[in-house]
Amino acid sequence: MKNLFSILFNSNQKTKNHVSDTYLDDVYCLERSEILDDKTCNFCLSMDGRTFAKDDPIGNTDEFCKGCRGIWAEVLNDQSIKPEIDQIPSELLKCIKGGKRSMMGLKKPIVDENSPAWEELERRKSDKK
């Protein structure tokens, strides 16, 4: 199953790069989407739902950590409701610049209240009780 996931994940990223290159004028921004479960690291929890300008170099990062399962979703210009493009918190930016080891070392996730990642953290807290 792991190999199948890798094949699908890598295929998705190659498709994303092709679509972005081919239809760049149609893309408004990129949004990071992570699988939210007990395997999701603090850094990836922090990146879930964040939006970036289509030409932000962060959008060229296919995986942030070992076993990363996140993808980039393209938000198109013709969407009626467009998200705000995020300002990434400086602590996350430092982790990105520090590489995968630094990303994996993030002690506490940085998430927006009531976001899906925040709800995942709340679920984890309730599971510990």
Q: How confident is the model at residue 20 (pLDDT cuts 50, 70, 90)?
A: low
* pLDDT confidence of residue 13: 52
* pLDDT confidence of residue 59: 87
Structural domain count of the chain: 1
Which residues form the domain of 70? 2-128
* pLDDT confidence of residue 117: 94
Other Cβ atoms less than 10 A from the Cβ of 129: the count is 4
In tens, the pLDDT along 45-71 reads: 999 999 999 889 888 888 888 888 999
Q: Is the pTM of this model over 0.85?
A: no
The 10 Å CB-count burial string (b at 16+, else e) for 78-114 is: eeeeeeebbebeeebeebbeeebeebbebeebbbeee
* pLDDT confidence of residue 9: 45
Average pLDDT, the chain: 83
Q: How confident is the model at residue 3 (pLDDT cuts 50, 70, 90)?
A: very low
Residue 25 has pLDDT above 90, yes or no: no
User: Which helix (H) or strand (E) covers residue 103, if one does?
Assistant: helix 100-104
In tens, the pLDDT along 89-126 reads: 999 999 988 888 888 888 999 999 999 999 999 999 99
